[in-house]
Chains A and B, each alone.
Chain A
Amino acid sequence: MELSPVAMRAFAGLLKDRTGQELAASRHWRIETALKPLLRDRELPSFDSLAAGLADRRDIKLADAVVEALLNHETFFFREQAAFNMLMAGPVEALAAARGGTRRLRIWCAGCSTGQEAYSIAMAFADAGDRWRAWTVEIIGTDVSASIVGRAVEGCYSQFEIQRGLPVRQMMRWFTPDGDDWRANADLRRMVRFERHNLLDPAPFPGTADIILCRNVLLYFAAEERTRVFDGLAATIAGDGCLMLGAGETVLGNTTRFEPDAAQRGFYRPVA
């Protein structure tokens, strides 16, 4: 089955409108693989007919399904373990020292996918003994995809998902078998809040976030939209807050409102 330039433009246009992400034409095969199950579900004969269905605009669910299929949701627990340890030992401790008065920290996982990142942070705090006992640590996970946010709220993971990155002791402490899956226990789920939110829109909460994780999200954004997202994050982060990107991502060349933290690779500070 062929993906015509017209259909390609329709899918790319939709995705960019909805999420800011760009579809590289060089990734044709990936787009075809991603959308084929949808053709089958909808009993559509071709990518062109799918594109025509989008043009019809009455079927909002179809557009949602296309966007959904085109998004990359790959994630796992404690992704880049070393960076996680650094986050807890460095920026988190530094902010805690500055927040001794209120004993409140707010952490925003922007583009959290199915929740592993946010739950990892929650476990890192909860497993630190008494260190955070007197603190209120608010962890907010958001994602543009409603169905993915639903999965994050459920906290239910397949055997492959639960084993990827998660140490067995933490799996046993915080999860319980549920059929073939493993489900986050209520005490873990209570530590995290999930919401649907598009990074192209203003922040989903009033006030500021002390730490923002936006990892492996902005990779595929168009340049202009990426800058817009960084501007939005800069407006939301506390003056002494810290932004964490994925390995191999940077603010350099994308925004002047953040600068690399001289002391810690992978972390960025808002520019006053």
Chain B
Amino acid sequence: MKTCLVVDDSKVIRKVARHILETLEFNVAEAGDGREALAYCQDTPPDVVLLDWNMPVMSGMEFLRALGTSGMSPRPKIVFCTTENGVGHIRAAIEAGADEYVMKPFDRETLESKLQIVGLA
């Protein structure tokens, strides 16, 4: 079974994502900010990280950069999932190494197809 780490400061979003991911037969773990997520990844690397942008303590971008310099290999796939829907943000995320990008709000079809694109569903 594939594992997805859902990183979002909103409990509601984590719950929605978890529900969808479980119907797609993922093992789901949760983190409320980037630092928690980083600790989780170093301990038990997931196959994919669903990553919010704006979070307290450590943002999605800061997490992505920290993950990059941590030298983790293989690095989990990174799918941003955020309300930051402007092209500037999307471009920055791609440049920082994100594999895919989900603009909130999203539905099951969106998530499933993005996970397929990164080779995981």
The reply to whether B85 and A163 contact each other, CB–CB distance below 8 Å, is no
Distance in angstroms from B56 CB to nearest chain A CB is 26
Q: B114 in the interface, Cβ–Cβ < 8 Å?
A: yes
Q: A136 in the interface, Cβ–Cβ < 8 Å?
A: no
Residues of B89-107 at the interface with A, using a CB-CB cut-off of 8 Å, are: 90-91, 94, 98, 100-103, 105-107
The reply to whether B85 and A159 contact each other, CB–CB distance below 8 Å, is yes
Q: B116 in the interface, Cβ–Cβ < 8 Å?
A: yes
CA distance A108 to B120 in the complex (A): 31
The reply to whether A168 and B94 contact each other, CB–CB distance below 8 Å, is yes
Given A81-B116, A168-B94, answer yes or no on A163-B102 (Cβ-Cβ < 8 Å).
yes
CA distance A163 to B116 in the complex (A): 12
Please classify how large the interface on chain A is, using the bins under 10, 10 to 19, 20 to 34, 35 or more: 10 to 19
The count of residues in chain B whose C-beta lies closer than 8 Å to any C-beta of chain A is 20
Q: A165 in the interface, Cβ–Cβ < 8 Å?
A: yes
CA distance A167 to B77 in the complex (A): 14
Given A160-B110, A163-B102, answer yes or no on A172-B90 (Cβ-Cβ < 8 Å).
yes
Distance in angstroms from A181 CB to nearest chain B CB is 12
CA distance A160 to B101 in the complex (A): 13
21 A–B pairs (Cβ distance < 8 Å), ordered by A: A76-B109, A76-B113, A81-B116, A81-B117, A159-B85, A159-B105, A160-B107, A163-B102, A163-B106, A163-B113, A163-B114, A164-B113, A165-B117, A167-B100, A168-B98, A168-B101, A172-B87, A172-B90, A172-B91, A172-B94, A177-B86
Which residues of A pack against B, CB within 8 Å?
Answer: 76, 81, 159-160, 163-165, 167-169, 172, 176-177
